[in-house]
Every structure is written in structure tokens, then in C-alpha cells.
């Protein structure tokens, strides 16, 4: 187990800075998720931690040790990728055992480790099968088992579930969370999927264009985003954000100096009359589309201050009708700048 510290870490490819002066601490034993849009530098950051890529400047610490000059094989890190990288001609057992033979682990110990770990990941019945006869989820478990036998101090997982279908992905999410609890080892997990990040991580690092936008628990990221990027990136549908000056006329004069104002689609209600509430922002608008999700409905609304989305349990309001959106003041977010 170990904490990881990135100190002023920058990575430049040719002339492009893809990771910019990163300063983060990944807590010992945490399940930390690095999330952000495609191309924002997540994999590069992971690869620098693993030693597969060398940072252009800055320091990386794993545990008590600065690992700038430590080669990947000596960092005591195990990696799991989305493409599994299994050896097709070897059985499950041989795939798991391969790294142990390389490390000259004695046969008896190898047997014990393989049996213990295949039990944990549910592979015991498949040990003699070749990867081609396994499902995607089982292959991913082999990749995990192969990482686990190394007993690393850190697990690094790069979009490990993105090749699985939605149902299996859900199941594997739960399995990974349980596995992390059981092992207590630091997990660093990369995904571009905010739902995956929110449901799996106990700590989330939000990256955009190589810059850390926020580091917090999922709940704090959702309830207390400290910038408009985080606010819009987390949550489905995304937070509605408007220029403060466009909404100011509908608010009591509170003397706020914010640049932007936001509200989440799920923190609103709509009604067909302008009943004003003392403690709500009320915005008139017209429903453009109505998307029924089952219990909930998402309305796209052309409002007086701009287009927005509203998510509510009410389904009585019809398309094309004129409505009033109300948002409790307590559910408004104010942002200084982007």
C-alpha cells in the first residue's frame, strides 16, 4: 500500500503540453478515479505513474520514494488495461502464472497464490481454458488476477471496463469496488465516463486539457463543484449554466458578483402558472421536447434566459406549453469564472 504524490508534473509531446503542472496526492488505500474528456491527459498521467512514460519535469513519489529514476518493473505497480493483453495460446492458469515464473516464485507458492486469487475473482472453474473460450468479463478477471498475484502496492486501471456491454460493465463495477475493499490497496482508475467515476471512486480527480479542475469526494464534486467545467461535466443531464447578467433581473438584488449562475435539471420544478415563491428563482419558458425515461421526464425548455433542461417526476405538462421553471435559491450555484 502506498500513497502517490505528483509534484509539479508536466508532460510535453513535441511542442504540446498535454499535462500541465499537476499537483495531486492520491491517498494510500483510496479508490481514486481520474476522469475527464478524451485527450485530456488521463492515460499519460497514469503511464507516468507506472513509469511507462517519463515526465518532462516534476517529481513522482510512490510511498516514501521518489520514483523519477525507477524503471516500471521496479515500481511495484500492476496495470490492467481495456484490451486485457492476455496471451492467447496460454490457459488462464498459465496466463496468471507467467509473471510469477518470471519472478522465480517457487512452484508451491505459485500454486497457492493462483488458487487463492482465482477463487477471489471467480475463475477457479476456468483455469484450464484458453482466453478465446472466455466471455469479456471473464477475460477481464484474468487480467485482474494476473495483476493481483504480483501483490502490488498500487493498482492502475486504464478504462478496464470499456470493452464490456452495459450489463456486464455494471456487474464488474461492483466487483471491482468489492475487490478494492478486500485488498485495501491503492487503486488508480482512469475513465472518461462520469457515471463510472461517481459510482466507483472514493476520490475523484477531474482533468481538463491537462489541468486538474477539482479533487474531491463524489458527493462534494456533485454538491459543491468549484468551477463551471466540473459543474457541467458531472451530472446527467448537465447543469444549466447562464451568464449571471442574463438572470440577474429575475433575482432579488443580493449584490452578488458572480460571472455565471447554474442549477441542476433535477433541482427544478415546472408549473403552468406563475405562482411565485419567495425563496425560488422563477424563469418563464416554453417546452421544446419531452423525453420520458420511465418514472422521470426530461424537458428541454426554451427559456427567457436561454435553453435549459429540467428533470422532474411530473409528466402532466405537455409539449409546446408555456411553463414556469422554479428553482429554490438554495439550489443555485454561483461561479466566478470558467
Residue 201 near ligand ADP by CB under 6 A = no
Chain residues 46-75 in contact with ligand ADP, contact rule CB under 6 A: none
Give the residue with the Cβ less far from ligand ADP, 232 or 266.
232
Of 3, 44, 118, 214, the residue at the interface with ligand ADP (CB under 6 A) is 44
Q: Are 200 and 176 in contact (CB under 8 A)?
A: yes
**H-helix or E-strand spanning residue 231:** helix 228-233
CB 156 → ligand ADP: shortest distance, Å?
12
Of 281, 317, 285, nearest to 298 (Cα)?
A: 317
CB 42 → ligand ADP: shortest distance, Å?
4
Residue 153 near ligand ADP by CB under 6 A = no
- Which triple of cell numbers denotes residue 124? 477457479
Buried b (16+ CB within 10 A) or exposed e, 77-94: bbbbbbebebeeeebbbb
Residue 15 near ligand ADP by CB under 6 A = no
Residue 160 near ligand ADP by CB under 6 A = no
Q: Are 201 and 31 in contact (CB under 8 A)?
A: yes
Specify the stretch interacting with ligand ADP by CB under 6 A; choose among 31-39, 117-125, 231-239, 253-261.
31-39
Residue 13 near ligand ADP by CB under 6 A = yes
Give the residue with the Cβ less far from ligand ADP, 41 or 131.
41
Specify the stretch interacting with ligand ADP by CB under 6 A; choose among 32-40, 143-151, 307-315, 325-333.
32-40
Of 326, 61, 31, nearest to 181 (Cα)?
A: 31
Buried b (16+ CB within 10 A) or exposed e, 295-311: eebbbbbebbbeebbbb
Specify the stretch interacting with ligand ADP by CB under 6 A; choose among 20-28, 42-50, 172-180, 230-238.
42-50
CB 135 → ligand ADP: shortest distance, Å?
26
Residue 83 near ligand ADP by CB under 6 A = no
Q: Are 7 and 23 in contact (CB under 8 A)?
A: yes
Residue 161 near ligand ADP by CB under 6 A = no
Task: Give helix then strand counts, H and E, for the chain.
Answer: 9, 18
Give the residue with the Cβ less far from ligand ADP, 91 or 163.
163
**Cis check: omega of the bond before 238, within 30 degrees of 0:** no
The SS3 assignment for 305 reads coil
| End-to-end alpha carbon distance in the chain | 37
Give the residue with the Cβ less far from ligand ADP, 49 or 305.
49
Residues near ligand ADP, by CB under 6 A = 13, 18, 36, 38-44
Amino acid at each position: 500500500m502506498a500513497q502517490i504524490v505528483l509534484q509539479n508534473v508536466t508532460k510535453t509531446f513535441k511542442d504540446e503540453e498535454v499535462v500541465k503542472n499537476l499537483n495531486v496526492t492520491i491517498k494510500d488505500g483510496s479508490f481514486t478515479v481520474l476522469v475527464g474528456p478524451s485527450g485530456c491527459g488521463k492515460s499519460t498521467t497514469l503511464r507516468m505513474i507506472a513509469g511507462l512514460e517519463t515526465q518532462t519535469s516534476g517529481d513522482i513519489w510512490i510511498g516514501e520514494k521518489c520514483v523519477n529514476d525507477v524503471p516500471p518493473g521496479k515500481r511495484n505497480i500492476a496495470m490492467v488495461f481495456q484490451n486485457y493483453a492476455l496471451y492467447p495460446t496460454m490457459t488462464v492458469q498459465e496466463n496468471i502464472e507467467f509473471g510469477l515464473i518470471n519472478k522465480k516464485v517457487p512452484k508451491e507458492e505459485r500454486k497457492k497464490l493462483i488458487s487463492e486469487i482465482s477463487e477471489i475473482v471467480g475463475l477457479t472453474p476456468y483455469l484450464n481454458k484458453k482466453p478465446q473460450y472466455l466471455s469479456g468479463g471473464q477475460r477481464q478477471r484474468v487480467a485482474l488476477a494476473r495483476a493481483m498475484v504480483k501483490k502490488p502496492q498500487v493498482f492502475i486501471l486504464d478504462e478496464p471496463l470499456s470493452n464490456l456491454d452495459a450489463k456486464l460493465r455494471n456487474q464488474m463495477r461492483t466487483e471491482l469496488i468489492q475487490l478494492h475493499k478486500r485488498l485495501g490497496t491503492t487503486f488508480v482508475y482512469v475513465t472518461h465516463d462520469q457515471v463510472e467515476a461517481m459510482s466507483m471512486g472514493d476520490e475523484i480527480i477531474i482533468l481538463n486539457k491537462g489541468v486538474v479542475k477539482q479533487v474531491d469526494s463524489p458527493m462534494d464534486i456533485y454538491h459543491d463543484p468549484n468551477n463551471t467545467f466540473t459543474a457541467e461535466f458531472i451530472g446527467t443531464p448537465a447543469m444549466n449554466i447562464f451568464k449571471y447578467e442574463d438572470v440577474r433581473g429575475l433575482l432579488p438584488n443580493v449584490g452578488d458578483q458572480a460571472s455565471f449562475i447554474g442549477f441542476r435539471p433535477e433541482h427544478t420544478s415546472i408549473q403552468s402558472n406563475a405562482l411565485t415563491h419567495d425563496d425560488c428563482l422563477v424563469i418563464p419558458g416554453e417546452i421544446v421536447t419531452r423525453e420520458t425515461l420511465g418514472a422521470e421526464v426530461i424537458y428541454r425548455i426554451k427559456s427567457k434566459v436561454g435553453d435549459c433542461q429540467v428533470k422532474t417526476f411530473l409528466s402532466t405538462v405537455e409539449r409546446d406549453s408555456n411553463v414556469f421553471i422554479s428553482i429554490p435559491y438554495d439550489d443555485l450555484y454561483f461561479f466566478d469564472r470558467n
